Amino acid sequence: MSKSIEELRKISNEMRADILKMIYYGTSGHPGGSLSSIDILSVLFFNKIKRTQENALDPDRHRFILSKGHGVPALYAVLNRCGLIPTEELWTLRKIGSRLQGHPDRVILPYVEASTGSLGQGLSIAQGMALAAKIDNKNYKVYCMVGDGEIQEGQIWESLLSSPKFKLDNLIVILDYNKGQIDGPTNEVLNLEPLKDKLIAFNWDVQEIDGHDFEQIQKALDNADSSNGKPHFIIANTIKGKGVSFMEGVIDWHGKAPNKEQLEKALEELSKIN
Amino acid sequence: MGKSSRLAFGEAIAEIGSLNKNIVVLDADLSKSTMSNIFAKKYPDRFFEMGIQEQNMIGVAAGLALSGKIPFICSFSIFLLGRFETIRMSVAYSNTNVKLIGTHCGIGIGEDGYSQMGLEDISLMRSFPNMSIMQPADEIETKEIIKYAAENFGPMFIRLTRQNLEDVHSSNYKFSFGKGDLLFDGNVATVFCTGGVVGNTLAAAKELEKEGIKIRVINIHTIKPIDTDIIIKAAKETNYLFTIEDHSIIGGLGSSVCEVLSENYPKKVKRLGIVNSYGESGSPEALYEKHNLHKEGIINSIKTELKKGV
């Protein structure tokens, strides 16, 4: 059953707390880009893909690939809420022997769909899955989340050029456009703009939304169900570190674990939003 | 002279295509050279022209494989290996059932020169724990290997020649994955060879036999996992050991054989191949002569070592 916006808001903030605890216990990880993407993953997994234990490995399931693999704490958090990762396992992130690798590993945890983390590769894999669905006349859709720093990679633009050729309207790419990457603001490190114009010129069906507005996320994903022969691209404008005041928009929180004091402060803030 | 292994591949995959509908073939604008165009004509719905985008082709193949397809992806060997890190993540580490078909390996491609020659491809591929590496010596072995690749799960790299190859097997030859293939027996020396140079090696052994020098020739069609037993046995039974390959002697067959022996039965191995140098333009014959991979060069190299004594 789909979740209401109130439920999505509540569960997203609970998952934000899970993400920060995971990274705290793991002693390293990427909070900024996990917190920016979690609202999108909420809508996608609960209301669109509707991932459950029963359908998790169904050959006809909708697929989701996190191409920006460093944001994987968000994916583990949502898979936990779908019943696919036990809560106690979340706190094993990045520890030896854990299924929760620092970046997704499909061989030991198949629910992540693809092994990613070397940026730029997940979209091509998603394209291949969408192509397979077309070959077999299957109805499943393939969702792929990319990061803004990530789409500086050449391989991304290979797939952006290639996917429209194969009329993959079952491929939906979501950009977590949080405007920051390790070395600084994306528009300073290597500006992507005018991005929408580029994507339209590449023959994609493009939408632009606020990636923290649940209604807009839901609507954009519904729009992307249309079979117009074009692959879909959703530019989701997000805030790096969203939900924690001292992390929001601060690039330093791209890949750093909070200390105990910072974790407690963040958890307190998040509990108040609830 | 028989067929090139690329042509044998093109014919084989077009033939096998009818047996399994999950087989798909991808190419990056070289289908007329890799010979995947034979499959493309026969099964246009299962052939995907990816354009000049090797990285994306590798990733798309991984996605296809994760959805139940058996993708054979084709390009010049070195153009695939140029996208090493995409192969590393999306194929090897992900353990996807992708078959990498690398043609135009070695200096045997001739005039196009170094930029098109796969000379380091085996070396790179060997570093992946789960990557099978196969290199056929002639038409029938190519067809057997392609059939094996289609029927067995796992990432595989198959290295093929541009140039035509002498047939070294009879028509009833059966390929056995991971097992060295004894082509000619002898008790003085053993030569481990692979791919395009097997024909010349066999010819050299036959010539040497006339002079009373009996050389064992073992075709290593499966470079990974390598047949350790046949290597150790040869080291025990013959005094001189050689490896011959149209590839850098760093990281290829020569290194593989030395690794096996250094840990199991330490013995001197003379490695013949591309010795710490780049390729260049020239006729395949002239290049083989320059690098001593032609029959006479192989004979001379063997005799030189024999003269030195054990």
Rg (chain B; Cα; Å): 19
**Which pLDDT score is estimated for A273?**
79
pLDDT at residue A9 tops 70:
yes
- Residues of B annotated catalytic, as ranges: 54
B14-31: pLDDT as tens digits: 999 999 999 999 999 999
- What does A166-185 look like in DSSP terms, one character per residue? GT-TTEEEEEEE-SEETTEE
**Which pLDDT score is estimated for B20?**
96
**Which pLDDT score is estimated for B131?**
98
pLDDT at residue A96 tops 70:
yes
pLDDT at residue B310 tops 90:
no
Q: How far apart are CA A13 and CA A17, in angstroms?
A: 6
Residue A35 C-alpha, separation from nearest chain B C-alpha, in angstroms: 25
The token pair at A20 is 């920060």
Q: How far apart are CA B288 and CA B246, in angstroms?
A: 9
SS3 content of chain B, % helix, strand, coil (to 5): 45, 20, 35
Q: Do A107 and B86 touch (CB under 8 A)?
A: no
Q: Do B69 and A107 touch (CB under 8 A)?
A: no
DSSP code at position B159: E
Label the pairing between strands B222-224 and B132-134.
Answer: antiparallel
Q: Which amino acid is at B190?
A: T
Q: How far apart are CA B8 and CA B226, in angstroms?
A: 23
**Which pLDDT score is estimated for B7?**
98
Q: Could you tell me what percent of chain B has a pLDDT over 70?
A: 100
Q: Quick one: average pLDDT of B213-229?
A: 98
**Which pLDDT score is estimated for A187?**
97
B74-83: pLDDT as tens digits: 999 999 999 9
CB of B266 less than 8 A from some CB of A: no
pLDDT at residue A1 tops 90:
no
Mean pLDDT of the residues in chain B: 98
Q: How far apart are CA B44 and CA A69, in angstroms?
A: 35
Chains A and B form CB pairs within 8 A to the count of 100
**Which pLDDT score is estimated for B53?**
98
CB of A129 less than 8 A from some CB of B: yes
Q: Calculate the CA A3 to chain-centre distance.
A: 19
pLDDT at residue A274 tops 70:
no
CB of A161 less than 8 A from some CB of B: yes
Residue B102 C-alpha, separation from nearest chain A C-alpha, in angstroms: 20
Q: Least CA distance to B62: which residue of chain A?
A: A125
**Which pLDDT score is estimated for A256?**
95
Q: Could you tell me what percent of chain B has a pLDDT over 90?
A: 99
Chain B CB contacts of A129 below 8 Å: 63-64, 66-67
- Give the pLDDT band of residue B156 (cuts 50, 70, 90): very high
**Which pLDDT score is estimated for B189?**
98
Residue closest to A176 by CA, chosen among A46, A20, A44: A44
Name A12's Cβ contacts closer than 8 Å, sequence gap at least 6. Answer: A38, A39, A42
- Which alpha helices (DSSP H) does chain B contain, by range? 5-16, 31-34, 37-42, 54-65, 77-81, 84-86, 121-125, 139-151, 198-210, 228-237, 253-264, 284-290, 295-308
pLDDT at residue B234 tops 80:
yes
The minimal CB distance from B86 to the residues A106, A121, A129 is found for A121
CB of A15 less than 8 A from some CB of B: no
Dmax over Cα atoms in chain A, in whole Å?
53
Q: Do B55 and A127 touch (CB under 8 A)?
A: no
A131-163: pLDDT as tens digits: 999 999 999 999 999 999 999 999 999 999 999
**Which pLDDT score is estimated for A95?**
97
Q: Do A128 and B51 touch (CB under 8 A)?
A: no
Q: Least CA distance to B52: which residue of chain A?
A: A158
Q: Quick one: average pLDDT of B229-253?
A: 98
**Which pLDDT score is estimated for B16?**
96
A60-69: pLDDT as tens digits: 999 999 999 9
CB of B67 less than 8 A from some CB of A: yes
Q: Could you tell me what percent of chain A has a pLDDT over 90?
A: 98
The token pair at B71 is 């993708």
Q: How far apart are CA A156 and CA B167, in angstroms?
A: 44
Q: Which one of B48, B67, B87 makes the best mutation probe of the A interface by having the most chain A beta carbons within 10 Å?
A: B67
Q: Which one of B89, B91, B98, B153 makes the best mutation probe of the A interface by having the most chain A beta carbons within 10 Å?
A: B89
The minimal CB distance from A128 to the residues B53, B64, B86 is found for B64
Complex ipTM over 0.90: yes
Residue reference for tokens 């078909």: B101
B65-117: pLDDT as tens digits: 999 999 999 999 999 999 999 999 999 999 999 999 999 999 999 999 999 99
Q: Quick one: average pLDDT of B133-157?
A: 98
pTM attached to this predicted model: 0.97
Q: Quick one: average pLDDT of A89-118?
A: 98
CB of B23 less than 8 A from some CB of A: no
B51-67: pLDDT as tens digits: 999 999 999 999 999 99
Mean pLDDT of the residues in chain A: 97
B158-187: pLDDT as tens digits: 999 999 999 999 999 999 999 999 999 999
Q: Do B66 and A135 touch (CB under 8 A)?
A: no
The minimal CB distance from B63 to the residues A128, A154, A165 is found for A128
